[in-house]
Chains A and B, each alone.
Chain A
């Protein structure tokens, strides 16, 4: 048990990797073995992540001597190049690992009935998840980037082969955008590596953080150059306006499980990377550049919302709504307050679950209706009440109804950012109204209204396998909606030192300026 506990993060990381490798050796015809392996891997990581969540002790982590990270494992990898395999988690990453594993489980379950090349599908899904887990637990800049890029590329085939609307164009655009962002971030990371934060260049994030905390940070001018490189590199996947245009098309074209992973988890990598690397290592740069983020995120919120309103394809509605919601996350990060930034991380979690639910539900009836056009749908509540009710709940969560985790997190963001950025906050509040408009319109057009006899053959979700993913996701939203404390407290322990460092840099800048 102790062995398992000491290597918990490696186990979480290895499970989808081993599943990927094993799937290669399963004959393509043995469907059940493939499904069991895919879903089994998801179940195992879920169990391990819940264990991680339950046993993570912030106080012990802070006192552990690893820069506030717990479950740290370190293994020299390529010593001559300063690369080590180093993993560890703080409150922020625990929340993200939990999110990933829940979405992975739900995604593996909704793909149960996938008919085209199920083996390859699960291989790619597991590979993608390996990359995502890797990003969330890596504390070595090389491995961070390695996993980041690993998470991007499987999506190309997932969308290109199993996708729908305009898939070839959408998937190429997505892959190229994200890789471009990643390459920019890579150059930034390498510049950071050679920038001389530590005496010997190192990719060790803990050592870098400790050097900065001990007053060894870079000169402000240097930080002001490096920060935007990392910011815009990572913000491509976030996706920050105007780098967002890959995202709605990619969502719309992707098969259900890929959309879920993509909107639920992949998009969070960008904001996570900014919080994990850019803020703590370049606090002065953050002070200079975060106001820019606060402005750009208003475009996300308002522009994304308006575009969502005019969409006729349900997946495009959710796609643009995602980039709108990510605006709140960016606003929370820009707020540099414990409340706002914790809210941003919590919103990443809540939005990930909510949007995964949305894509799972749309995918469910799209398989039968073969259309997602609002004009063609209507009255579906009569034929598929279970899915319909859950969709309404998803919409309520998304528009910020109290009782769902999204409400709590958006409230935290808005309250947290009010002090520093009143105008963007007002715009963000207006964005909630826009959100309510397009979500309610979508619900009305697709599910309400007179019964459409064309959809009489559409059947509702039945059986455990079909219902489980939906119930799981709604359950998580409701649970953390009513009882956010355990997660929020955890996130705050991770956010507080980062925010404190940036605030300190900001105070220093003001003092100098005065």
Chain B
């Protein structure tokens, strides 16, 4: 096989940069660590931040590459879709690193290694944005899963963290097993790992073998694990609750988005027009996921667990857009996750501050927050309302775009109605958080200190949610360009 090194470097430049950055971080840790258990945490984190910023800047300056010549095997693609997501993942990991700053004091050990792992996970996610065949897909997925497993169990002193880690790894392994098995079937049926070949086999006009369909179904199941789709959502509440808060944020935004990216490649690139045969399955998954997430969120009393269910509910919405499988629905997904990033990061920032003195994030901790810190209460209100889809916040427009795309397909009308009911349900539980902040007395009236970085991040998120909620055009345009390459 002929490998074009230049092309490979051009496609995977960001990944290479991330890999080098990870090595650099280990060196910094070794040189400055001097045997301290906590390590040179600040130095490592700042290096990581600078490195990620530089890579983000580089990524922003990049242009999509032309399609490789027919016949030449490409290990990855750098289309507008991949670029959108690479930027998204770099931004997410920046946010997670900034988020972990105020959290780190709680870690007895391993402060310096956490940023390194975040960088490696980001590498895996960026790799997934460019995938073009099933092998790279599996490799990228495992990089993400394994590093996240380590981070989930990072607080080794806490049984809940260990429990979360074990649950994550067991279910993750199960999902990986499904996926590898599925890939084997796909390979058996088509003789290739390449997306293009499978696409051709599905849409070429010839008979589609049951073996291929079975293999693809298993792959889809494996992807459902990352996204948090029914029935592979079961790990989410426990893992979200037990993991360190910044890691939960990473799971809820980065890891979920990575799963969605793969599902989009799966639906739009691999299946293509054949997706019409899969729409009902996706719609059914969407319905079950919507029900599970929204109804499950109602009785929760832990903030992180609550956000886990809320995340499942959002996955249901994204699956609805996948079931629609049109260009507007793909655009809607890109927009949706863009706004979801800001809303979720904001929620986790507030959680880190309010649960500073505790090992859990019980919902009681936000009681009376409006009296203790009006600013934090306002930030969490904006976050909840955006997740609930209330104008003028960006989450509203995201939901609106998904619905608009879905209504166009009359066969999905039942799902649209179901999601409409679920929007009302979700408004209920998000309002319950707001109720606690504004209408309940505080359990603990100690002063909440909000660091400069946290404050600055919260302001950024609030402004982003309001601006993209009112003036949607710039983000819509970005999302449109990002989704565009899936359809050309």
Binding site for B on A (CB under 8 A): 28, 77-81, 83, 120, 142, 145-147, 149-150, 153, 156-157, 160-161, 167-168, 172, 175-176, 179-180, 183-184, 186-187, 190-191, 193-194
Contact = CB atoms under 8 A, between A and B. Distances in A.
Given A146-B392, A157-B434, A187 B427 contact: no
Nearest to A190: B407
Nearest 9 pairs between A and B by C-beta? A190-B407, A183-B420, A180-B424, A150-B391, A146-B391, A153-B390, A149-B391, A78-B473, A161-B438
B476 A78 contact: yes
Interface of B: 328, 374, 385, 390-392, 396, 400-401, 403-404, 407-408, 416-417, 420-421, 423-424, 427-428, 431, 434-435, 438-439, 472-473, 476-477, 480
Contact of A175 (B421, B427, B472): B427
Contacts of B423: 179, 183
A191 B477 CA distance: 24
Given A81-B401, A175-B431, A153 B407 contact: no
A146 B396 contact: yes
A149 B390 contact: yes
B476 A190 contact: no
A175 B408 CA distance: 28
Given A183-B420, A187-B403, A190-B403, A81 B390 contact: no
Contact of A194 (B407, B439, B472, B480): B407
Contacts of B427: 175-176, 179
B235 to A, nearest CB: 31
A505 B238 CA distance: 59
B392 A81 contact: no
Contacts of B473: 77-79
B476 to A, nearest CB: 5
Given A80-B480, A179-B423, A183-B421, 12 more contacts: A77-B473, A78-B472, A81-B476, A83-B472, A149-B396, A150-B392, A161-B438, A167-B439, A172-B435, A176-B427, A179-B427, A183-B420
Given A146-B396, A179-B423, A80 B434 contact: no
A80 B477 contact: yes
B424 A187 contact: no
A160 B420 contact: no
Contacts of B396: 146, 149
22 contacts: A77-B473, A78-B476, A80-B476, A142-B400, A146-B391, A149-B396, A160-B435, A161-B438, A175-B427, A176-B428, A179-B427, A183-B421, A183-B424, A186-B400, A186-B403, A187-B416, A187-B417, A190-B403, A190-B407, A191-B407, A194-B407, A194-B408
A79 B392 CA distance: 19
A255 B51 CA distance: 53
A371 B473 CA distance: 51
Contacts of A120: 374
Q: Pick the most buried of B391, B435, B472, B473: most chain A CB atoms within 10 A of its CB.
A: B391
B422 to A, nearest CB: 10
A147 B407 CA distance: 21
B435 A168 contact: yes
B295 to A, nearest CB: 15
A103 to B, nearest CB: 22
Contacts of A147: 391
Contacts of A157: 434, 438
B392 A168 contact: no
Given A157-B434, A179-B423, A187 B390 contact: no
B403 A81 contact: no
Nearest to A161: B438
Contacts of A168: 435, 439
A160 B391 CA distance: 19
B420 A184 contact: yes
Contacts of B401: 81
Contact of A187 (B385, B408, B420, B476): B420
A154 to B, nearest CB: 10
B266 to A, nearest CB: 25
Nearest to B385: A153
Contacts of A175: 427, 431
A149 B404 CA distance: 16
B434 A156 contact: yes
A160 B480 CA distance: 40
B298 to A, nearest CB: 12
Given A150-B391, A172-B428, A176-B427, A190 B404 contact: yes
Contacts of B374: 28, 120
Contacts of B428: 172, 176
B435 to A, nearest CB: 6
Contacts of A83: 472
A161 B439 contact: yes
A153 B434 CA distance: 12
Contacts of B476: 78, 80-81
Nearest to A119: B374
A78 B408 CA distance: 18
Contacts of B421: 180, 183
Contacts of B391: 146-147, 149-150
Nearest to B381: A157
Given A146-B396, A184-B420, A160 B390 contact: no
B464 to A, nearest CB: 16
Contacts of B400: 142, 145, 186
A216 to B, nearest CB: 20
A142 B404 CA distance: 10
Contacts of A172: 428, 431, 435
A99 to B, nearest CB: 23
